[in-house]
Each structure stands twice: as structure tokens, then as C-alpha cells.
Amino acid sequence: ARDDVRALLEDDLDFQVTELAAITDQRPGHGSCDGVSFVKDRHILFRPTESRRQNFTLAHELGHVLVHDCDAAQDWLADLPEEEAGPREEWMCDQIAQRILLPDEILDQFSVPISATGVVDLFEASQASMAVCAIALSRRLMGPAGIVLINIERGEVDLACVQPDSERGWPASFPWRR
């Protein structure tokens, strides 16, 4: 499944997966929107890309399917204030996508010390997208902390991934995409 998440969704989970030329840029919870899941209808829409990002998008949408089907995740989200539930679900789906696409045996070679060049080195040594690499390495941070990917040409955040701390909780701010 790591190499072809679309086949997993279509063949193993019986989802219809449809490519769209354009989707809205934002989704509820401030998540970026390269894909949308309609779990009850077993349909996923996504913006195709000619990059490693496409598998991340589909794995993230698979994360929404798994979160939807997990009572413990639904209970946790339901107990959060409404304004926190969306961002936390997006965070969970990013974490799921990362774990699907980047195995720990590769990640373990690049996790200490965590640096910007380490994210790039992990990207070059794997088939994972830059986003997956940043999310994976953010799991190794001593929280609350995060990694932010910035597109210098546009002056915009491409991805922010955080690692909450078991005692201090979530970082106070979260720089959303764009």
C-alpha cells in the first residue's frame, strides 16, 4: 500500500477515487485541501499532482476513513472544544499518512539531531514527500514543538506539523498553510 495508496483505497477498501482539476484551497479545521473524503458514500475526490504529494494526499484521506471508523478517535474529538476538533483531526490524518508512507526503519536513520538538512536528506533517501518527511521528523521533537515548511518564493507556509507534549499539551500557535 505504501507505493500505491489509490489501489488500496479502490481495490481493498472499495472506495471510488476521483481526480479533480481543482478543489477549494481550505477545508474546515484549517487543513489544506488537496483531497476530500466522503466516507459514508465511500468516495474520495483529490487534486492529482505529478509529485510524491499525491500519495500523501490519498493516505491523508485514508486517515479520515480510519478516524471516522475509530470510536476512540471519535470520542477524543467529541470531547474537544469545537474550534480544536478540526485541527486535531487533520493532525491525526497527517500522522496516519506519514506512518503509511514512511516506515520507521528509514526514519530511524535520520532522526537525530533534527534539522532542516535532515528533512531534505530524508526526502532524498525515500519516496516520501517533503510533507511526510517533516511530519515524520516532527514526531521525534521534544514537544510542544513543530516543523514548518515555507515556500520562500511565495512567502507562504506550505506545511506546519506539530508534536504535542504529554505534560504541556499543544503548541500555543499553529501556522496554517498559506
pLDDT recorded at residue 88: 87
Lookup: cell for 127: 519516496
Give per-residue pLDDT as tens, 40-97: 899 999 888 777 888 888 999 999 999 999 999 999 999 999 888 888 898 899 889 8
pLDDT recorded at residue 72: 95
Compare 15 and 128 and report the one with higher pLDDT: 15
Give per-residue pLDDT as tens, 102-146: 878 888 887 677 888 888 888 888 878 888 888 888 888 877 778
Say how far apart CA 154 and CA 12 lie, in whole Å.
Answer: 39
**Range 2-21 average pLDDT:** 85
Distance of CA 122 to the CA centre of its chain: 16
Phi, psi (rounded to 5 degrees) for 19: -85, 135
Question: Which has the closest alpha carbon to 42: 10, 77, 82?
Answer: 10
**Most confident residue range from 8-22, 57-71, 151-165:** 57-71
Q: What is the pTM of this model?
A: 0.74
Of 25-34, 38-47, 74-83, 165-174, the one with minimum mean pLDDT is 25-34
